[in-house]
Structure 1
Amino acid sequence: MPERLKIDEPLWDQSTFVGRFKHFLWVTDPRTCVVSEEALDNAKVLVEQYRKGSEPPGTTLEQIIYAKKLYESAFHPDSGEKQNVFGRMSFQVPGGMAITGAMLQWYRTATAVVFWQWVNQSFNALVNYTNRNAKSPTTTTQLIVAYLSATGSAMVTALGCKYYWTKRASPFVQRYVPFAAVAAANCVNIPLMRQNELIYGIDCSDANGNVVAQSRFAAVKGITQVVISRIVMCAPGMLILPVIMERLEKYRWMQRITVLHGPFQVLAVGCFLSFMVPTACALYPQRCSINATTLEWLEPDEYKKLTNKCGANIPEVLYFNKGL
């Protein structure tokens, strides 16, 4: 009898960057965004059936793997709920390329800067909420405050950079206003959208998946890694493309087709993101970890709860979902 697929584990080794890259390249495939709701629901059913060993007779391994791909691309790993399509990591390429390309093209006026930063941070807020650690619920009030704070910080940063650089920097340097605003806003947007994790901590499990503690330090570590990943994700497109456009716009043929500059930048950003989305997601393991002794030093109350719960069998390493 052939060995069954471990349906809840990645197909590639997650202890290496290459393994994580292959996994996220597979699971963030933008084509999964156009799969019908019925197909996604059927994929979830098949995965649940396979998990119980009760899949329909004649089901092939290829069908199971494809169902696993659809399930992991569209359903939250903590709650199992279907995610909003615009908030899925698989939508990062089409969504990100359109918004980032627009930010890079229309940055010369304050109105354009404010509008596109608002659009971008609204999109980021949705992505951050969709890919949070779902075991840390957030109230509607907290979400509204987080959204307003994050979008506000992005627009203030963008306008500040624009007015400062307009007087002191060359037109080429001004092209980097969008990246400065996006990087700064990510440092605000993600922690605010996931503030409950920082306030109350996130579930930490032992090697067998049993929840044994809640840690605020784990939340800080996970969110910090997500912030870094998001900045890395957009950096190449927003840093390299201005150099390319600066060179191209010196040619007469490029000056004659200004109407195509926007679409060109959108497509170029798409090329960057197709590679950078899985790269950025793969920088750190999805199943993040901390040493139990860290709690003893930084969160003694939680460590005491851990010792009361586990007794003499305190796990050396605690694991948690860092989000994306």
Structure 2
Amino acid sequence: MPERLKIDEPLWDQSTFVGRFKHFLWVTDPRSCVVSEETLDNAKILVEQYRKGKEPPGTSVEQVIYAKKLYESAFHPDSGEKQNVFGRMSFQVPGGMAVTGAMLQWYRTAPAVVFWQWVNQSFNALVNYTNRNANSPTTTKQLVVAYVSATGSAMITALGCKSYWTKRASPFVQRYVPFAAVAAANFVNIPLMRQNELLHGIDCSDANGNIVCQSRLAAVKGIFQVTISRIVMCAPGMLILPVIMERLEKYRWMQRIKVLHGPIQVLAVGCFLSFMVPTACGLFPQRCSMKSSTIEWLEPEEYNKLKTKCGTNIPELVYFNKGL
């Protein structure tokens, strides 16, 4: 009998960057966004059946792998609930290329900067909420405060940079106003949208998956890594593309097709994101770890809970889902 697929484990080694890159290249495939709801539901059913060893007779490994891909692209790893399609990581390429391309094209006036930063941070807020650690529920009031704070910080940063750079910088440097705003806003948006994790901690488990404690330090580490990943994700497109467009716009043929500058930037951002989404997601392991001794030093109350639960067999490392 052939060895069964480990349905709840990635197909590639997650201890290496290459393995994580392959995994996220596979699971963030934008084509998963246009799959019907019925197909997604059937994929979840097949994964659950296979997990119990009760899949329909004649089910091939290829069918199980495809169902696993759809399941991991559309359902939250903690709650198992179907995610909003616009908040899924598989929507990052089409969604990100449209919003980022627009920000890079329309940055010259204050109203344009405000509008596109608002659109971008609204999109980011949805993605952050959708890919949070679902074991830490967030109230409606917290979501509203987080959303207003994040979008507000992005617009203030963008307007501040634009006002400062308009007087002191060349038109080329002004092209980097959107990236400065996005980078700054990410440090506000992600922590605020996941503030419950920072306030109450997130579930940490031992190597066997048994929950042993809740840690705020784990939340800080996970959220910081996600923030860095998001900035890295958008950086090449927002830093390199302005250089390319600055060169291209000097040519007469580009000056004759100004109406196409926006679509060109959108497509170019899409090319960057196709590579950068799996790259950024794979920078850090999804199943993040932390030393128990760190909890003992900085969170003695949680360490006492850990000792009560584990007795003398306190694990050296605890594991948690950092989110995306």
TM-score normalised by the shorter chain: which range applies?
A: over 0.9
Structure 2 gap ranges (5+): none
Matched, 1:279 2:265: no
Q: What is the TM-score normalised by the length of structure 2? A: 1.00
State the shift of 1:308 in Å. Answer: 1.2
Alignment of 1:91-102 (within 5 A): 91-102=91-102
Q: Distance in 2 between matches of 1:272 and 1:111?
A: 27
Deviations 1:170-229 (A, max 9, x none): 000000000000000000000000000000000000000000010000000000000000
The DSSP-based 3-state class of the residue aligned with 1:107 is coil
Which residue of structure 2 aligns with residue 11 of structure 1?
A: 11
Map of 2:238 onto structure 1: 238
| Equivalence for 2:56 | 56
Q: How do 1:179-190 and structure 2 match up within 5 A? A: 179-190=179-190
Code of the aligned partner of 1:215: S
- Rounded Cα–Cα distance in structure 1 between residues aligned with 2:5 and 2:229: 30
State the Cα distance separating 1:74 from its structure 2 match. 0.1
Percent of aligned positions that are identical: 88
Q: Which amino acid aligns with 1:125?
A: A
* Equivalent AA in structure 1 for residue 243 of structure 2: V
How far does the alpha carbon of each residue in 1:19-43 deviate from its partner, in whole angstroms, 9 at most, with x for none?
0000000000000000000000000
Which residue of the partner structure matches residue 26 of structure 1? 26
User: Is the partner of 1:319 in helix, strand or coil?
Assistant: strand
SS at match of 1:212: strand
Instruction: Give how far 1:287 is off.
Output: 0.1
The match for 1:108 is 108
- Using the size of structure 1 for normalisation, the TM-score is 1.00
2:295 and 2:49 map into 1 onto residues whose CA distance is 38
Determine the structure 2 residue equivalent to 1:205. 205
Amino acid at match of 2:13: D
Q: How many residues align?
A: 324
Amino acid in the other structure paired with 1:236? P
Residues 1:69 and 2:58 aligned together: no
| 1:40 and 2:40 matched | yes
Q: Does 1:191 align with 2:152?
A: no
Counterpart AA for 2:144: I
* Consecutive unaligned residues in structure 1, runs of 5 or more: none
Look up the SS of the partner of 2:69 in the other structure: helix
Amino acid at match of 2:133: N
Distance 2:65 2:246 in 1: 45
CA distance in 1, matches of 2:305, 2:322: 22
State which drifts further: 303-312 or 228-237: 303-312
Runs of at least 4 residues of structure 1 off by over 2 A? none
Deviation at 1:305, TM superposition (A): 1.1
Secondary structure at the aligned position of 1:104 is classed as helix
Q: Which amino acid aligns with 1:174?
A: Q
Alpha-carbon distance in structure 1 between the residues aligned to 2:77 and 2:102: 32
Equivalent residues in 2 for 1:308-323 (5 A)? 308-323=308-323
For the residues of structure 2 that align with 1:308 and 1:209, how far apart are their CA atoms? 17
Q: Which amino acid aligns with 1:281?
A: C
Distance 1:22 1:234 in 2: 19
Mapped partners of 1:69, 1:138: distance in 2 = 28
Aligned to 1:269: 269
The aligned amino acid for 2:264 is F
Distance in 2, matches of 1:2 and 1:252, equals 63
- Post-superposition Cα deviations, 1:44-65, rounded to whole Å, max 9, x if no partner, equal 0000000000000000000000
Equivalent residue letter for 1:79: S
What CA deviation, in whole Å up to 9, does each residue of 1:100-153 have, x standing for no partner? Answer: 000000000000000000000000000000000000000000000000000000
Please name the residue that 1:251 is paired with: 251
Instruction: Give the Å deviation of 1:292.
Output: 0.4
Structure 2: how far apart are the matches of 1:76 and 1:263? 33
Opposite residue 227 of structure 2, the aligned amino acid is: V
1:141-180 correspondence runs (5 A): 141-180=141-180
Offset of 1:309 from its aligned partner?
A: 1.2
